[in-house]
Structure 1
Amino acid sequence: MPTALIAEDEPLLAHALEAGLRQAWPDLTLLPSALDGEEAVDEALRHLPDLLFLDIRMPGRTGLEAAQAIMEDWPAGRPLPLVVFITAYDQYALQAFEAQAVDYLLKPVPPARLAAAVQRLQGWLAQRPAPTACTPTSPTAPPADGAAPLGLDESTLARLRQLLSTPAAAAVPSPPRLQVIQASAGATVHLVPVAEVVYFEAADKYIRVLTADKEYLIRCALRELLPQLDEQEFWQVHRGTVVRATAITQAHRDEAGRVFLQLRQRPERLPVSRLYAPRFKGM
């Protein structure tokens, strides 16, 4: 029987969705609901459900960020879960989802809308090929009616990248570009020009700032830093790694299809997640 995980930080809405799914899909096994984005990622990777219902606006990680993290760490050889996003009335979200043809549920979810979503999800699961020992599977063509749940193939990864790159509040001006990083070390504050940074790497509640020959720590979330960087100059290659594009010398794909980056001024080989791997293709 298929399994599903609901991630919703409002318990009453989570219970209502659970009840609706039990009625519309009696054979569906529901895992205990996650109350925030971090828990959603942990539970999804622990239980590997077939379906995910992710609230867009959750503490810790948004539903989009949770979907990204789950896709990147999902075990090879097992089909990724189909993802349906849940959102309150938010014109930005609706326009973004409709533009990228990603399925969503508007909360509170009307029974008829949930029944239609269930029918589509059942159709998608029925069309999935059996998993192989080493190759992730992806959904085949979607049923003709309605948007597609998010799964793993080139087009759906492109849709998720587009959603992740769109600011949640399009009308809010972008913050000014960061020119200098102020990194504290005891009683000393180091002023690090952004022009000298080779890459940034998230580490717990901090970000590692790597230059050609030094490393600094700043207390900041990567999602707070990203809007302050020039996206043409700094490329996100993993959910926790952002690299200066001109610092990359080679992108190498190994026998398993994983992409690694060689840098000009650092010895590390940086892994590229499958979400961002399509960026590294020959011209």
Structure 2
Amino acid sequence: MRVLIVDDEALARSKLLRMLHAFPDVEVIGEAANGATALTLTAQLRPDVIFLDVQMPEVGGFDVAASLPDDATADAPAVVFVTAFDQYALQAFDAHAVDYLLKPVDPERLGRAVQRLRKSVRGTARPSVGMPAQLMITERGQTHIVRCADIEWLEAADNYVNLHLPGKSLLIRRTLAALLNDLEPAFVRTHRGAAVALTAVLSVRPRGKGDATVVLRSGVEVPCSRQHRELLMQRLQQ
């Protein structure tokens, strides 16, 4: 399950992120500190589930829920409201929420919510729409529009990915696996923590023991492990 966390309190987002890491089938693909950003990220990342705070400045949680795709469509994410107030529970379920969690979130109660989500989102995989033309990345308060065709290679950094472009790199809060899911088949993993754009590859140089070095047209060298080399060569031939 691909999850988006929406809360205007950074500590609350961090705590929920740590708690969700306990579930191997849950991947947090993004965070939003306000409702407007939540709607932008929902359209861009297409999460399966949104953990949504109720009280936020300007655009609140119920406003976000009302602006999401209709729950009869394939793009509709499941919603779990997370709040310190219990008086919104009826309104939450009227908004077709899958669950309603009270802060501070209890780990056992979160586990039951995740189990309910597994049943709710099972079999509702998003249809493939191909690689997006561009990505919107906010870094240090500045928003960058990056053409996917300009990305040379990807480098994992915990729950972030460094997007390496000609002359610069930008950091996006995604896991490498989640980002590759959106960028394939134009990109292929070469290492546990790296992937390259196939059009950027100039040569593949053996290093011994089955490993290799991928040389990009820009001159950058990216490691390629033995277990990923065969797939890389197949994709280059295709």
More strand by share: 2
What is the TM-score normalised by the length of structure 1? 0.41
- Tell me the TM-score normalised to structure 2 length: 0.48
